[in-house]
Structure 1
Amino acid sequence: MTVAAVVRQRTGREALRRLYRSRSGEGRALGELLGGQVEVASQGAWITTDAGGRFLDCGGLGIPLNGARHPTVLRHVREQLEHRPTASGLFPEPQSALAADALLSVAPPGLERVHFTGSAVQALTLAARMARARGRTRIVTMTGSQHAASIDELTPTSSSLVPYGDTAALRRLLAGLPGRACVLVEPVQGGAGVVLPPPGFLRSVAALCREYGALLALDETATGLGRLGAWWGAGSEEVAPDLLLVGGALGAGVVPLAAVVATAGVSAAFDHAPYADPYPCSGAPLAMAAARGAVAALREDNLVGRARVLGAEILRVTGRIVRGHYGPAVREVRGRGLLLGIEFSSPDAAAGLLIELVRHGVITCGAPGAPHVLRLAPPAVLTRADLDHLYEALDRSCRAETGRRPRG
């Protein structure tokens, strides 16, 4: 019996929908507006529903480059599940050490310690605590950053905001905070609509941090582990941060997992102290096995290189298709690697195309800070058949949408 059949037999679609609305605290799923299908299975770049629908996942909730249920990831997780799924946290946990070593093997130079957490917000909190422990009590963030709101909640009286890409503004701020700041920056701002920084921006930020004694923290929760066609977004500018935030891709689409990777000096106050880290993952060997599997899968299948090649093709073809249908209503098609954004002149155009794409079997996502931008962030396991499906669905969706609305 298939998974879909089991779901229907045990609960039924209508019963599941009632439970979702009455028991779950999550927001209403877009799928309810598109027939109310129930998601029951995933493999590679594809999601299957109980009604037999198949959807190419090109965004969703942040599918990692390795896609869903990558065999290398599953092998690591299954071996650990059969051996020891949980740990006491009292004794050294070998999977934690192995996962840290795997992550450091691909991390930017100079980083030597890994502190695993259960979520990106926990990693952000821990990074702020590490900075404060080193006397950097002012957290500097950039306009449009996905972490700005969280930082304001965590440190409402000790955070500052500067325009993304404006090194002159950053210099003025840091000049007044010698030795007291930690600059937190994203290599590409996904949540703001896939905003690319000016060339050399990260290198300039790193130089300013050195000049004024600030710590440099890179938030790569959305861009790291190959998403931009390089292991890290900072790699293209050869920037070595003091702190690196790693996000959902670390859990390989199997478990929620994040991490703070730090230099030995920044991490010193938190190393091997039983209660210094409020979010230890030493009791989660399954998550650690998933992290090892994630790094192994990326290496074995050269998924970082594929992200670079596929991203260039998708950017080119997608741009041709949407501009051909929407004309000047498309302001820009941009991106790096497999993090791409289509910027429209209105939010309605972006939302309409997102819904139409789902109807044609492709899942994309919006940008929380830019409702006029439609994002594509597919895995690097796409086959030629998958790409053909994406392009055909995009062409048909654009034709359907532009047939219903005036241009401009």
Structure 2
Amino acid sequence: MTTHARPPADPATAAAVKAADRAHVFHSWSAQELIDPLAVAGAEGSYFWDYDGNRYLDFTSGLVFTNIGYQHPRVVAAIQEQAAKLTTFAPAFAVEARSEAARLIAERTPGDLNKIFFTNGGAEAIENAVRMARLHTGRPKILSAYRSYHGATAAAINVTGDPRRWPSDSGTSGTVHFWAPFRYRSPFWSTSDAEEAERALRHLEDTIVFEGPSTVAAIVLETVPGTAGIMMPPPGYLPGVRELCDRYGIVLVLDEVMTGFGRTGKWFAAEHFGVVPDLLTFAKGVNSGYVPLGGVAISERIAATFATRPYPGGLTYSGHPLACAAAVATIRVMEDEGIVEQAARTGERIVGPGLRELAERHPSVGEVRGTGLFWALDLVRDRETREPLVPYNASGEANAPMAAFAAACKRGGLWPFVNMNRTHVVPPCTIGEAELKEGFAALDAALTVADGFMA
């Protein structure tokens, strides 16, 4: 079927899929008896559909990973071809798909990040980057931002700043959190980007000094924070962090799990700021999420630490051939179809202007921010005070305004990415202008609902 056709209804299959899910699938981040997962029948391009004949324009890219859209035929064919050739093999061997994926990724990472350690996803990438930094420096502590998400494994969840950390927080397990810059809700009472960058860097250096520079192994930052709100760092901030790391012998880890592989209109968001980290984590967009894959891109200096000293880490499925074949095909598709450049143009010419136009009509939009195909609308009760439309980490009745907004989006055929008081606009990087206009029309109607909750 084409993405413009109405999918056929299949209620019998819908009921069977839903029944099996409810009987046996344990869902993440959920109270199991309070959720009602949509039964998905298929997906193509920027759309997916259910068994009841409803089609949705996906403004979430899954979980911000289908950068080339669903079911790209070249990537599907590459997975099929690899499955016929060599479905799986242990990670200690040299395998063509693994070697080629590593080469293509290393060619696109900034600076000298030429060694690739493969994982199954982003959390494991953070887990191993933290381990590498601690072993390289011989220091125990990791600094990370409060407004952040880095994964749900043992170290990654403690490095995370947002409330998903709280139930599993083991005294932060060697992690110290700090405030990163965020002009719209500045923790530093700044009145300009320059002031925000300067004060945030001073705060970070104070944190390093008071924690003891000789105890700090790494600073872990999302290059552009994703789930936490898509806050673009002010000019000078990331270069300033790089300088602090160099001064105090600290490893700089940039988390590009969400921003990597074209999402911000560059191969990696670090390119926007002219910064090269010591370690860079990736996942999601590396193969558009078609087969689980993540990894750490490693600088020559840190790789040298393990040249004759064994690295004490590994995974059974590290560099899985199917996942790596999907990555090779995805990167080649992105090159051949100019998808990174398309994301940059679409963001500048269509998404940014379109969202700012919506903000002019809807007083519930406090701020529009983003780049490429990576945007957020910060929804408020009052533009003057910037009071969020719902409280921080709201649930139940307190979250009713955002729940009503999301429901309105879905009635309009749009599947939104909603987190706290924000809706994120993160569709596939291949999305077209007509599809975006369709999505903006649905957002327009849903924001009218949000406007009704203003103080």
Q: 1:143 aligns with which of 132, 139, 146?
A: 146
State whether structure 2 residue 23 is matched by structure 1 residue 22: yes
- Is contact 1:72-1:296 (8 Å) kept? no
Q: 1:277 deviation in Å?
A: 2.7
Q: 1:51 deviation in Å?
A: 2.1
- Corresponding residue of 1:377: 426
Q: 1:315 aligns with which of 347, 352, 356?
A: 352
C-alpha change, 1:378 and 1:5, in structure 2 (3 Å) is closer
SS of the aligned residue for 2:314 comes to coil
State whether structure 2 residue 241 is matched by structure 1 residue 209: no
C-alpha change, 1:124 and 1:105, in structure 2 (3 Å) is same
Q: 1:157 deviation in Å?
A: 4.0
State whether structure 2 residue 98 is matched by structure 1 residue 96: yes
Relative to structure 2, which stretch is displaced further, 153-162 or 298-307?
A: 153-162
Q: 1:249 deviation in Å?
A: 1.1
- Is contact 1:73-1:252 (8 Å) kept? no
- Corresponding residue of 2:116: 114
Structure 1 CA distance for aligned equivalents of residues 21 and 239 of structure 2: 47
Q: 1:154 deviation in Å?
A: 8.1
**Bigger relative contact order (CA 8 A; separation at least 6):** 1
% identity of equivalent residues: 27
State whether structure 2 residue 97 is matched by structure 1 residue 48: no
Q: 1:356 aligns with which of 408, 413, 423?
A: 408
C-alpha offsets along residues 354-382 of structure 1, whole Å, 9 cap, x if unaligned? 22111111112122xxx111111011211
C-alpha change, 1:90 and 1:398, in structure 2 (3 Å) is closer
Q: 1:90 deviation in Å?
A: 4.9
Q: 1:344 deviation in Å?
A: 1.0
Give 5+ residue unaligned stretches, structure 2. Answer: 151-155, 161-168, 182-199, 381-388, 391-399
- Corresponding residue of 1:163: 179
Alignment RMSD (CA, Å) = 2.9
Structure 2 CA distance for aligned equivalents of residues 296 and 235 of structure 1: 20
C-alpha change, 1:171 and 1:68, in structure 2 (3 Å) is same
| Number of positions where the alignment pairs a residue of Structure 1 with one of Structure 2 | 397
Give 5+ residue unaligned stretches, structure 1. Answer: none
C-alpha change, 1:136 and 1:243, in structure 2 (3 Å) is farther
Q: 2:334 aligns with which of 284, 292, 298?
A: 298
C-alpha change, 1:181 and 1:406, in structure 2 (3 Å) is closer
Structure 2 CA distance for aligned equivalents of residues 86 and 155 of structure 1: 39
C-alpha change, 1:228 and 1:246, in structure 2 (3 Å) is same
Q: 2:132 aligns with which of 122, 130, 133?
A: 130
State whether structure 2 residue 340 is matched by structure 1 residue 339: no
Q: What's the TM-score, normalizing by structure 1?
A: 0.88
- Is contact 1:251-1:290 (8 Å) kept? yes
Q: Which amino acid aligns with 1:339?
A: F
Q: What's the TM-score, normalizing by structure 2?
A: 0.80
- Is contact 1:356-1:401 (8 Å) kept? no
SS of the aligned residue for 2:108 comes to coil
- Corresponding residue of 1:241: 277
- Is contact 2:7-2:54 (8 Å) kept? no
C-alpha offsets along residues 32-85 of structure 1, whole Å, 9 cap, x if unaligned? 76xx75211111111122222211111142233211122332232222112111
Structure 1 CA distance for aligned equivalents of residues 58 and 301 of structure 2: 41
What is the 5 A alignment of 1:176-325? 176-178=212-214, 180-270=216-306, 276-279=312-315, 281-282=317-318, 284-312=320-348, 313-324=350-361
C-alpha change, 1:14 and 1:270, in structure 2 (3 Å) is farther
